[in-house]
Structure 1
Amino acid sequence: MRLVISEKNIAAKKLADILAVGKSTADKVYSTPVYRFRRDGDEWVSIGLKGHIIGVDFPDEFSKWRLEDLTEMVGADLVEEPAEKGIIQSLRSLAKKATHVVVATDYDREGELIGADAANVVLAVNPALPVTRVRYSAFTREEIERAFAQNAPIDQALADAGASRRDIDLVWGAVLTRYLTITSNKAAKRAWGDVLSAGRVQTPALKLIVDREREREAFTPENYWVVKGGFEAEGTAFDAVHETARFSSAEDAQRVLDAVEGHSLAEVLSLVTKQRTVKPPAPFNTTSLLMAGAAEGLSPSRTMRIAESLYMDGLISYPRVDNTVYPKSLDLKALLRTLKKVGPYQEYAAELLSKPNLAPTRGQKEATDHPPIHPTGVADPDKMKPENYKVYNLVARRFMATLSDPAVLESAKAILQVAGEKFVARGDVTVTPGFRAIYPFGQKKSEQLPLLTEGGSCGFTGANLDAKQTQPPDRFTQGRLIQEMEKRGLGTKATRHEIIQTLYDRKYITNDPAEPTCKGRSVIDALVLRARQITDAEMTAELEREMDEIANARSTRSKVVGHSRRMLGEVMAVLLDSVAEVGEALKAAADEDAKVGKCPQSGDDLLIKYSPKTRAFFVGCQGYPDCSVTFPLPKNAKFASVDEACAVCGSPQVKVIQFRRPVRVMCLSPDCSTKKGPEIEVGKCPSCGGTLRVRYSQVGTRFVRCEKYDSETHPISYPLPQTGELEPTDEICEPCMAPKVIVHTKKGPWKICIDPNCAQRTEPKTRSRKGKKSK
């Protein structure tokens, strides 16, 4: 029996479907899905992992978070342990009957490590088993058949490079995260609070954002003035800018306006036209795809998830690549014939196929592991999610653009004179669209000048003065941050989007373009204060280069990991001598982030706080214990401060973020009318016959309560759905005698018994996470 090991269950099934002679059969070995099929007269079994099945961690003696352990943790031996016990059990069982093992995990550092770990599990049971490695870049029949026809060994150097990254990132991340978290909690005199994470790549990436924000804050804008003139020729209006593009003095600019006032004609002093070519773009690699996705409104992490899904569906090639040069083995015309079957691309693909020779563009990075990202399958736009088609469309059009002719543009520059003052008008016209006909993304908007004659005249309709200021450097968009990280050697093609998402998840940055939060700035400031080297890109880039040396068999895992531990040890020696100083800096920033307004009683700051006793968040006065003012917050939610006070009562507000509910802004005042709704009568109490009314808690949560409510003798109260308009009915639920109400939601009306414990209560039909309708 031949055993095929891939990285995920979906990959295992696809490989089985492609390789099988006939149909594959789904089965299970213990609890792990496998796919059995026959090929070349042999029995084959395809099994998918769940990523890493072997993990590493610190020994149990370091399970508690203590400052005194951190120095020892830097040099501690890591312990390998099973991460997926069920899959390991299944592999061991299959190894007993296997005659050959084929490792078919993704071909990159992480995939090689995953495959090597799985092979070691199998070989521990059956040491004589031959193990071969297959490498492919697309889930197409042609590509998979080619890969399985070639035998190669596991690249142990590549796997060691992946293991080195895993070890280094664990040690650095764990030690620095524990240091920051413990130090912050110690300064705040609390047993536990938010985890403040740091990492070998995460921290320098955050510093890029913080440094850019500081540049913006330090920037001093300068005033300047621009004089624009309005012109007209052949019935077409167009603008021109005075030859002095920026006036440093408003008076000088005003003199130009005064000089041209009252004139209605302009002389065309000169008209220069010239043609220029715009080259087609280079093929997509991971970085350029993520940037293109960001320009279309998709975050890098979302673009990558979609790209991975399209890859698994056989629609595009492997999306984690550095390469920007198509290999000679890639059949470009076959790919065009595939795209010719997709409606929106039929005509253009046919045009490219009619060319006698295809001359694709080349980027600056060439690698041999995977080709650049390109389409591999026929997509049906009508059957795809819009955002999935958006990414496929980018890939398909970019591929065709790389095989297209350059665009030819004609640029025109006219010098116009009014009362001795010269104005410059510019315009572009497309002579030959070339690649732009299929790839319109990223083009600057240009205007075409009307027909002008040198030495002739045109109409002048007046001039105006625009007061402007020089602008600070732009914040990093997620796409630009990906590019900057690549430029500085931070992370890899497979990890950069994950690092950015981590910064958002940790609340170190917000918005897009990215702005650092007080928490994010405090982490950088605290580390720069005593350990600047771990916030700079150079040290991380150096380790990346060393891991490349491992992959190329020019260095070893033990050498590089040992060097990284020595670097971290030097850093920690300094940081552990600065616990109080670093802790105070972190505490001050945490307090700043938690501010929501001023206390109505003491005037001190109100802060979002957490009570370990009640396990709930609340807003309390910073002046406690001298001031005991508090405000409750909803349970099972996350919170963020809001700059604006309540428009109704002037009290501070907080942003409330709850799972599967719209984000809302809540006034803190329990008496504010924004928290109150109509106290609708919904019926009679089934216990006493009293009136049941809709009421509202201090945090704005609505519920139904009997008018004779008493927490001890008559605790009749019912929760309600928190969204949707309520409408009472005259109906009574017979089993429990509670009244029924109608909740009007976006999906339509929903009639329910208000008693949540009623056996006949029905919930609205929604889709569960598995995509099945719940009843």
Structure 2
Amino acid sequence: MLGKFIQTRNIGVRIFLNWQEKQSFGNFTCLHVKRKLSDMVNVLNVAEKNSVAKNVAQILGRGAIQTRETGSVYNKLYEFRVYVPSLQNQCLMKMTSVSGHLLSFDFGPEHRKWTSCNPQELFSSPIVRFVPETGMKIKKCLQREIRNCSVLIIWTDCDREGENIGFEIIDVCREVKPNLKILRAHFSEITGPAINRALNTLTEPNKKVSDAVDVRQKLDLRIGAAFTRFLTMGLQVPNNNNNNSDKNNQIISYGSCQFPTLGFVVERWKQREEFVPQPFWYITVESVKDGISCSWNWKRQRLFDERSCIAILSKISEHPTAKVTKINSKQKSKYRPYAMDTVTFERLASSKLRINAKRAMMCAEKLYTSGYISYPRTETNKFPPEIKLNDLVTAQQSSSEWGQFANRIIQNGGATPRNGNKSDQAHPPIHPTKYASNLNGDEKKIYELIVRHFLACCDKDAQGFEVTVQIEINEEIFTLKGLQIKERNYLEVYIYEKWYDKEIPQFVENEMFVPNDIDMKKSETTAPELLTEAQLIALMEKHGIGTDATHADHIEKIKERGYIMVTPTRHLMPKGLGIGLVEAYDDIGFEMSKPYLRAALEKDLVQICEGTKTPEHVLKTHINEYEKVYKESHKQKNRLFELVRTKINS
């Protein structure tokens, strides 16, 4: 009967038998059913978070799932039955999850306390890998469930970090079942087609990718602990009820990505502080024709010599008649955006929505696990040909805000995306996977940004007609530009960019007229603005600091540590401690705030993934580089600490 189920003890679990399952079994008796069930393969499936596990189970189980507690409040277990092609068998699937990384690296007890050793010993002291107390219930669940399974399928996020988490799960499960068959599911969105495709194309997990993460974690642990202990203990002062005692005794953390990120902020601040304005002069020409006012631009733009500018003004004032010497008319395009990668997403969220990158990524992750968007951590900005873009566009026709625009794309021949040239060979660009109508707050804003960007990318460039008029006044050249927009196209949906008509009068070549006003004006150069978060992310990407998955985390970390602050205008301002750390290391000859060391590591991690360098060689090389810096820091510690204290107390 529909909705009934049979309890079977021979495999130790409950199996739902709905109408669809009865069809797959045929007209068998209960004895036949038991025999059929006994042939099934028991499979443990593990995702990176509970929301993914639940959604994947609902898709593969077609709603016929049973939920069990695991001992971990936030990690349930879902059971269902499905045919797995790579196993060529009907399988009893147990789907559960971890909560991010399951294992951690740390020093042994003899080196774990801050005062237990000289910080330099941390560059070579033994490291242990263990399950923290917070993960013990998850570990017990995995090891309990795997005992009755012969196959483990990894469903973690398909990026470098997710691969590493997958191998943590594998290691924990192999402790109790060494001969497990291990498979890996690859997916970029949590939708029916994507998850079923992942089940049908299972592969082996990639140990090289996981090894790259292990190298980064071990290196970050060693250099982070060594420099953090060195700086913090060196800068601590006795508490004499001094008002500055708290800030002098805070943790001075070091991170190989944090410092270069801080360095970009400090460098821009220093450029601004050291900036000396320079006066300059320029000539303006104003005219009115057919009731339209025109401001002409001087070809020289500006001069830093006042006398020279006065001489030119005097010259053209003697014969102020302007002659039209050239008129250029041409089609003008405003290009639609490229397909969206993570860095573009973070920059747009920060600059257009005023949502910082950390918060934006949290919202995107939730939208992804809810099945509304594709995986939000990607370096790809071109759509692979197998993605059915027209189906994705059609899904947005239900919207009252952009539905008509989506319909127009389909009616005008379908999606024609503007693709970039980057691909991480793992995930497509960020895009909506289905229409969402019940979102609120920042999640709604983030979803709207992704949808509008996707639709704009799939439409056509805006088209206009630009006219440039050039005049000559006693050998000095001035220009005037006008724009007439013919087709707005993608701009109709992409509310984050503007393009305006600019009306100018009609002119003809050799036409002559006397301007209404010719004048010389004075101004001065202005200091560069402090960095915005969007600009900082762009610099991090350009110089290879972190990855698309970690940019936001590094920025948040230097905020939390009190190295920088956000101004009311949303610019990033370094604080005394941040300035002191950067300038002190610059002073002793080691530019720790520059991106070179970390960028070199990121390149080597890619080579580990590609198999052209070994993890052992990369780790040893970079430990040696940082240990050299540490030794020099220790050698010049008095000067280093004094420079930092000066900035802290200023």
| TM-score relative to the length of structure 2 | 0.84
User: Shift of the alpha carbon at 1:518?
Assistant: 1.6
Given the alignment of the two structures, is residue 558 of structure 1 paired with residue 613 of structure 2, yes or no? no
| Pair 1:178-2:226 in alignment | no
Q: Among 3, 7, 11, which residue is 2:52 paired with?
A: 11
- Deviation digits for residues 427-476 of structure 1 (CA, Å, limit 9, x no counterpart): 22223334333335345666332444445577955456543112234432
Separation in structure 1 between the aligned mates of residue 257 and residue 475 of structure 2, nearest angstrom:
59
* C-alpha displacement of 1:239: 2.2
Q: What are the Cα deviations for residues 537-580 of structure 1, in whole angstroms up to 9, with x where unaligned?
A: 22211111111111112222222222222112212211111222
Query: C-alpha separation between the residues in 1 aligned to 2:536 and 2:573?
Result: 12
8 A contact 1:276–1:411 mirrored in 2: yes
* Residue aligning to 1:70: 119
* Amino acid in the other structure paired with 2:125: A
Give distance in 2, aligned partners of 1:270 and 1:188: 76
1:301 equivalenced with 2:373 (yes/no): no
| Larger relative strand fraction | 1
Offset of residue 234 of structure 1: 3.0
The residue type equivalent to 1:330 in the other structure is I
Q: Paired residue for 2:151, among 77, 100, 107?
A: 100
Partner residue in 2 for 1:410: 465
Structure 1 residues 653-690: Cα deviation after superposition (integer angstroms, max 9, x where no partner)? xxxxxxxxxxxxxxxxxxxxxxxxxxxxxxxxxxxxxx
Aligned residues of 2:390 and 2:414 also touching (Cα < 8 A): no
Q: Is the 8 A contact 1:278 1:408 kept in 2?
A: yes
Residue 202 of structure 1 corresponds to 258
1:158-196 deviation per Cα after TM superposition (whole angstroms, max 9, x unaligned): 111111111111111111111111111159997971111
Distance 2:379 2:316 in 1: 56
Identity of aligned residues (%): 24
SS of residue matched to 1:534: coil
CA offset digits 1:97-148 (Å, max 9, x no partner): 2242211000111111111111221221222332211010001111111101
2:7 match: none
| Equivalent of 2:198 in 143, 147, 150 | 147
Partners of 1:114 and 1:42 lie apart in 2 by 24
Q: Does residue 286 in structure 1 map to residue 310 in structure 2?
A: no
For 2:436 and 2:62, the matched residues in 1 are separated by: 25
Aligned match of 2:411: 354
Distance 2:383 2:593 in 1: 37
Q: Which of the residues 422, 425, 435 maps onto 2:480? A: 425
In the TM superposition, what whole-angstrom CA distance separates every residue of 1:250-281 from its partner, at most 9, and x where no partner exists? 56666788899999997655432222334433
1:22 and 1:485 map into 2 onto residues whose CA distance is 44
Alignment of 1:587 with 2:645, yes or no, is: yes
Deviation at 1:247, TM superposition (A): 3.9
Equivalence for 1:336: 393
SS in 2 for 1:153: coil
Q: Hey, what does 1:716 align to over in structure 2?
A: none
Q: Paired residue for 2:538?
A: 483
Of the three residues 394, 397, 413, the one matched with 2:452 is 397
- 1:388 corresponds in structure 2 to 443
**Structure with the higher fraction of residues in helix conformation:** 2
TM superposition shift of 1:527: 2.0
Q: Give the CA deviation at 1:242.
A: 3.9
Corresponding residue number in structure 1 for 2:69: 28
Query: Are 2:257 and 1:216 aligned?
Result: no
Partner-residue secondary structure (3-state), 2:45? strand
Q: Is the 8 A contact 1:232 1:238 kept in 2?
A: yes
Question: For 1:128 and 1:240, how far apart are their aligned partners in 2?
Answer: 79
Aligned counterpart, 1:472: 527
Determine if contact 1:263/1:460 at 8 Å carries over to the other structure.
no
1:314 and 1:448 mapped to 2: Cα distance?
A: 47
The aligned length equals 590
Question: 1:503 is aligned with what amino acid?
Answer: I
Q: Please report the RMSD computed on the Cα atoms of aligned residues, expressed in angstroms.
A: 2.9
CA distance, structure 2, for counterparts of residue 67 and residue 16 of structure 1: 48
Q: 1:524 aligns with which of 582, 601, 614?
A: 582
Q: Is the 8 A contact 1:160 1:557 kept in 2?
A: yes
1:569 alignment partner, SS class = helix
- The correspondence of residues 247-326 of structure 1 with structure 2, limited to 5 A, is 247-250=303-306, 268-296=324-352, 297-326=354-383
Maintained 8 Å contact 1:324/1:372: yes
Is 1:515 aligned to 2:573, yes or no?
Answer: yes
The DSSP-based 3-state class of the residue aligned with 2:114 is coil
Paired amino acid for 1:199: G
Counterparts of 1:30-69 in structure 2, within 5 Å, are 30-32=71-73, 33-40=75-82, 42-66=91-115, 69=118
C-alpha distance after superposition, 1:604-626 (max 9, x if no partner)? xxxxxxxxxxxxxxxxxxxxxxx
Q: In structure 2, what is the equivalent of residue 506 of structure 1?
A: 561
Given that 1:533 and 1:539 are in contact with CA atoms closer than 8 Å, whether structure 2 keeps it comes out as no
1:447 equivalent in alignment to 2:513? no
User: What is the TM-score normalised by the length of structure 1?
Assistant: 0.71
Whole-Å Cα distance in 1 between the matches of residues 442 and 519 of structure 2?
Answer: 43
Q: Is structure 2 residue 207 aligned with structure 1 residue 156?
A: yes
Distance 2:452 2:358 in 1: 21
Go from structure 1 to structure 2 and tell me whether the alpha carbon gap of 1:129 and 1:294 turns closer, same or farther (over 3 Å shift). same
Structure 1's 451 and 391: CA in aligned 2 closer, same or farther, altered over 3 A?
A: farther
Aligned partners of 2:95 and 2:319: how far apart in 1? 82
- Matched residues in 2 for 1:245 and 1:552: separation? 51
